[in-house]
Amino acid sequence: MPVSIARVLARGFCGLCPSCGHGRVLHAYLRVVETCECCGEPLGHIRADDGPAYFTLFAVAHLVVPLCLWIEQAWAPPMGWFMVVALLAASVLTALLLPAFKGATVALMWRLRLQGDERHDDGL
Within-domain flag for 11:
yes
Within-domain flag for 87:
yes
Higher pLDDT, 50 or 120: 50
Residues 6+ apart with CB under 8 A from 55: 101, 104, 105
Domain encompassing residue 45: 5-111
Within-domain flag for 95:
yes
Confidence (pLDDT) at 124? 59
- Which of 31, 56, 60, 59 has its CA nearest to residue 43? 31
pLDDT tens, residue by residue, 54-111: 999 999 999 999 999 999 999 999 999 999 999 999 999 999 999 999 999 999 999 9
Domain count for the chain: 1
CA separation for the pair 89, 104 (Å, rounded): 22
DSSP classification of residue 42: B
The residues facing 42 across adjacent strands are 35
DSSP classification of residue 49: T
Within-domain flag for 121:
no
Angle at 94 between CA 93 and CA 100, to 5 degrees: 95
Confidence (pLDDT) at 42? 95
Q: If you average pLDDT over every residue of the chain, what do you get?
A: 94
For the cut 80, the answer to whether the pLDDT of residue 119 exceeds it is no
Confidence (pLDDT) at 123? 63
Within-domain flag for 19:
yes
Higher pLDDT, 53 or 116: 53
pTM: 0.90
- The mean per-residue pLDDT over the stretch 16-28 comes to 96
